[in-house]
């Protein structure tokens, strides 16, 4: 990770309204092209309810380290939400909003599974 990649990703992320934190799965031809913002595709946008994927690499992380990583993940989310609320008056979602989002996602996944392959 260097300044060129950071600047490219920051510019990309700012184009997604309401996007403050998450993981983006990308496919790219070369790392140099990616750093320049050329010839890459977004495979998936993962928001705050997705886990940091590096916690599943048993060669680099233990179960207890994974738990600490999840704790850090949620602390960052809290810090971002708090700053956005204070600085930009972005409202906190209520628990019921979160539950509705999860149920909508569950229903969407069910509808995809029904599609012919």
pLDDT tens-digit map of 13-53: 999 988 888 899 999 999 999 999 999 999 999 988 788 99
- For the question of whether the overall pTM of this predicted structure is more than 0.95, the answer is no
Question: For the purposes of burial, counting CB atoms within 10 Å of the CB of 8, is it exposed (0-12), middle (13-18) or buried (19 or more)?
Answer: middle
The H or E element containing residue 25 is strand 23-28
pLDDT greater than 90 at residue 117: no
34-58 in b/e form (b: 16+ CB < 10 A) is bbeeeebeeeeeeeeeeeeeebeee
pLDDT tens-digit map of 98-114: 899 889 999 999 999 99
pLDDT recorded at residue 87? 95
């Amino acid at each position: 990770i260097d300044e060129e990649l950071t600047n490219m990703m920051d510019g990309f992320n700012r184009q997604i309204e309401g996007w403050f934190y998450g993981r983006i799965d990308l496919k790219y031809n070369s790392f140099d092209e990616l750093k320049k913002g050329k010839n890459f595709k977004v495979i998936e946008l993962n928001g705050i309810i997705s886990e940091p994927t590096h916690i599943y690499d048993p060669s680099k992380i233990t179960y207890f380290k994974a738990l600490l990583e999840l704790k850090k993940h949620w602390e960052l989310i809290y810090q971002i939400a708090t700053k956005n609320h204070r600085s930009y008056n972005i409202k906190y979602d209520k628990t019921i909003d979160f539950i509705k989002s999860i149920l909508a996602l569950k229903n969407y996944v069910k509808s995809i599974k029904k599609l012919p392959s």
